[in-house]
Amino acid sequence: MNAMKLGWFSELNSELWPGVALSLEVEEVLHSERSSFQDILVVKTFTHGKALMLDGVIQCTEKDEMSYHEMISYLPLCSHPKPKNVLIVGGGDGGVAREVTKHPDVERVTLVDIDDRVIEVCKQYLPRLSLGLNNPYVNIIVGDGFEFLNHHQGEFDVIITDSSDPIGPAENLFKHAYYQLLKSALKPGGLIASQAGTAWSNLDQVCSTFQHCKAVFPVATYAVTSVPTYPTGQIGFILGSLTEQTNFAEPVKVFSDKDLDRMSLMYYNDKIHRAAFALPRFVEKALNA
Ligand code: SAM
pLDDT tens for each residue of 132-147: 899 999 999 999 999 9
Q: Is 162 labeled as catalytic in the residue annotation?
A: yes
Mean pLDDT rounded to a whole number for the chain: 95
Q: Are residues 130 and 231 in the same domain?
A: yes
Q: What is the dihedral of CA 175, 179, 184, 190, to 10 degrees?
A: 160
Instruction: Tell me the per-residue pLDDT of 150-167, one tens digit each, with 9 for 90 and over.
Output: 999 999 999 999 998 888
- 76 assigned to some structural domain: yes
Same domain, 39 and 179: no
- Protein residue with least CA distance to atom 3, ligand 1: 59
Rounded distance, CA 63 to CA 72, Å?
Answer: 17
Look at residue 18 in the predicted model and tell me its pLDDT: 84
- Asked whether the predicted pLDDT for residue 68 surpasses 90, the reply is yes
Please give the single-letter amino acid code of residue 165.
Answer: D
12-28 pLDDT tens trace? 876 788 888 999 999 99
Backbone phi and psi for residue 65, each to the nearest 5 degrees, phi listed first: -65, -25
Q: For residues 223 and 111, state if they share a domain.
A: yes
| 198 in Cβ contact with 234 (< 8 Å) | yes
Query: Which of 36, 66, 112, 114 to mutate to test ligand 1, by most ligand atoms within 8 A of the CB atom?
Result: 114
- CATH number of residue 145's parent domain: 3.40.50.150
In three-state secondary structure terms, 66 is: helix
Does residue 2 carry a pLDDT above 60?
A: no
CA–CA separation, 183 and 153 (whole Å)? 9
SS3 content of the chain, % helix, strand, coil (to 5): 35, 30, 35
Q: 186-190, 195-199, 267-271: which range is least confident on average? A: 195-199
pLDDT single digits (tens) 99-125: 999 999 999 999 999 999 999 999 999
